[in-house]
A = this chain, B = another copy of it.
Amino acid sequence: MTKPIKIVFIGAGNVAWSLAPALDILPNVEVVQVVARSVESARTVTNRLSRAVASSSLMDIDTSADLYVIAVGDSQVGTVARQLSGINNGAIWVHTSGSVLLEVLSPLGDNIGVFYPMQTFSKGRQVDIRKVPFFIEGMRPEVAASLECLASQVSDSVSILSGDDRMVLHAAAVFACNFTNHLLAISSDILSSRGISLEVMKTLVEESVDKAFSSGPDNGQTGPARRGDISTINRHAELIGPPYSELYKTLSNSIINRFKDWSR
Contact = CB atoms under 8 A, between A and B. Distances in A.
Contacts of A180: 180, 183-184, 205, 208-209
B194 A183 contact: no
This chain's copy number in the assembly: 2
Nearest to A165: B194
B258 A167 contact: no
A211 interface: yes
A13 B22 CA distance: 48
B236 A213 contact: no
Interface in A155-178: 157, 165, 167-178
Nearest to A175: B187
Contacts of A132: 203
Contacts of A215: 122, 125
Interface stretch (A84-92, A146-154, A249-257): A249-257
A188 interface: yes
Contacts of A178: 221-226, 255
B171 A190 contact: yes
Contact of A182 (B75, B168, B203, B251): B251
Contacts of A257: 243
A79 interface: no
B223 A177 contact: yes
A3 interface: no
B168 A258 contact: no
A64 interface: no
A205 B222 contact: no
B209 A205 contact: yes
A65 interface: no
23 contacts: A75-B229, A118-B204, A119-B207, A120-B204, A120-B222, A121-B222, A131-B203, A133-B200, A133-B203, A165-B196, A168-B191, A168-B240, A171-B240, A174-B236, A175-B184, A175-B244, A176-B208, A178-B225, A178-B226, A179-B255, A198-B213, A247-B251, A247-B254
Interface of A: 14, 73-75, 99, 118-122, 125, 127, 131-133, 157, 165, 167-188, 190-191, 193-194, 196, 198-209, 211-213, 215-218, 220-227, 229, 232, 235-236, 239-240, 243-244, 247-248, 250-252, 254-255, 257-258
